[in-house]
Amino acid sequence: MARHSIAVIAGDGAGPEVVAEALKVLRAASEVSESLELDFEMYPWGSKYYLERGRVMPEDGAEQLRRHDAILFGAVGDPRVPDPINQHGLILHLRRVFDQYVNERPVYLFPGVRSPLADKKPGEIDMVVVRENTEGEYADVGGVLYAGTPQELAIQTGVFTRRGTERVVRYAFELARRRGGKRRVTSVSKCNVQRFSMALWDRVFWEVARDYSDIEANAYLIDAAAMNFVRKPEEFDVVVASNLFGDILTDLSAAIAGGLGLAPGANICPERTHPSMFEPIHGSAPDIAGRGIANPLGAILAGQMMLEFLGEEKAARLVREAITENLAKGAVRTPDLAGTSSTSAVGDDVVRILRAKAR
């Protein structure tokens, strides 16, 4: 019997709603498996915690999480709390302290889901964006001088290291090998104007590519990559990009595959020396929070990614097959997918399908 300890930070806004459905599905997957047990421990951190205590998580929060095998995260963000407090106090902090240097975001056009791009068929959009997750443009290096005066000056410094670049690029090539399929890695940079940081990125990419002669390597500038995500997304397999460029491209790629409600993400420490963290990428969505209409499939797919990472391939396959059938039938879906069902109804339907497939 495999037993895994999972920390759960449901967070803010619609986060608790979608995480509840992910937990419902994960518990069902555990119940139908003869060799899997999942232990969940809830952590009430985020904006509400900040408004009550002046910080988004306890000072020893990372140490509390360290003993778990993985973290399931909902969302962070509240109009009453400045975004930098939430982002840097919780999710960006955990990415750095746990060296989760890979942000892996798969993009897949499921049967029954309509892409805003004309004539795209199910499975035709099938890529993974690998985003460097701990340095780059989000390194939080810089400052402000003469704040509030006409001479106000702001400096934001991107930090690119050979080590940081090489390890995320190498992860992308290894992922392309595991995926099979197109066996292609595309690097995204802006070396024509960022002639120091992005030149280093490009140089390291092509050096690493020499170690993977079985994988096709190519490169785009960020503007060309964004254009071709729309023009010919079927060309892409594994895309590797810096923190900022990866962040932008993953929202775009999610949009062309049906929307942010279907998009999962994983913050991975590949060496497994620290827990990895799995989340839907849509944020706290305060405009629909509490209305019971948020799409939980991104969170459920994040749970499926977590099962895969933990080596629970059978359970992960059941979850994905259940999601695929739910979307293909189209009878139970939330308003973002032109449906009328509630968040919990979608979770219930995925559980029903999963249990039927397990029999």
Which residues participate in catalysis according to the annotation? Answer: 146, 190, 223, 247, 251
Report the distance separating Cα 21 and Cα 1, nearest Å.
24
Cβ density class 153-166: b for 16+ within 10 Å, e for less: eeeeebebeeebbe
Residues 146/153, Cβ–Cβ less than 8 Å? yes
What is the spatial distance between Cα 7 and Cα 352, in angstroms, rounded to a whole number? 25
Q: What is the 3-state secondary structure (H, E, C) of 166-186?
A: HHHHHHHHHHHHHHCCCCEEE
HEC secondary structure over the chain: CEEEEEEEEEECCCHHHHHHHHHHHHHHHHHHCCCEEEEEEECCCCHHHHHHHCCCCCCCHHHHHHCCCEEEEEECCECCECHHHHHHHHHHHHHHHCCCCEEEEEEECCCCCCCCCCCCCCCCCEEEEEEECCCEEEEEEEEEECCCCCCCEEEEEEECCHHHHHHHHHHHHHHHHHHCCCCEEEEEECCCCCCCHHHHHHHHHHHHHCCCCCCEEEEEEHHHHHHHHHHCHHHCCEEEECHHHHHHHHHHHHHHCCCHHHCEEEEECCCCCCCEEEEECCCCCCCCCCCCCCCCHHHHHHHHHHHHHCCCHHHHHHHHHHHHHHHHHCCCCCHHHCCCCCHHHHHHHHHHHHHHHHC
